[in-house]
Amino acid sequence: MRSFWLTLFAFGAAAVLVFGWQNGEPWTAAAFVVFFVSRVWRSVIKRPLFGPPDADGVRRANRFVAVTAAGYLGAGACAAIAAVVGEGQEWLYVAPFFLVLGACQLALLSGSRRM
């Protein structure tokens, strides 16, 4: 059943990108898609599609934090580009928060590797 919802999400993400491109706001669409793809990927890490969850909880948690960081940094970068190219002034307020949250996740990840 989850594979159905993942496929439906993929079609929706593709539609958002196509319509965003057609409406002249490709970076806005990309920011949304990057952010929500990271959320879907996180859910797959938490509950794998095939087989039992990974026995190494620390490794799984590190992957979860890395995907979270990638989502925030990717969406933040797309939002910053959207603001620069004129797709909406609101991205000037959103992008820094996404980038800061991504940096915090990377700091968390780097701190957990030292343990």
Total of domains in the chain: 1
Q: What was the pLDDT predicted at 104?
A: 95
Give the pLDDT means over successive 10-residue stretches in the chain (115 positions): 79 88 89 92 83 74 93 95 89 92 93 62
Close Cβ partners of 26 (under 8 Å, ≥ 6 residues apart): 17, 20
Residues 112, 68: Cα–Cα separation, whole Å? 15
pLDDT at res. 53 = 64
Write out the residue range of the structural domain in which residue 65 sits.
2-113
pLDDT at 1: 63
| CA gap 82, 98 in Å, rounded | 13
Instruction: Quote the CA–CA distance of 81 and 20 in Å, as a whole number.
Output: 14
Amino acid sitting at position 67: V
CB distance 105 to 69 below 8 Å: yes
- Dump pLDDT digits (tens) for 20-31: 888 889 999 999
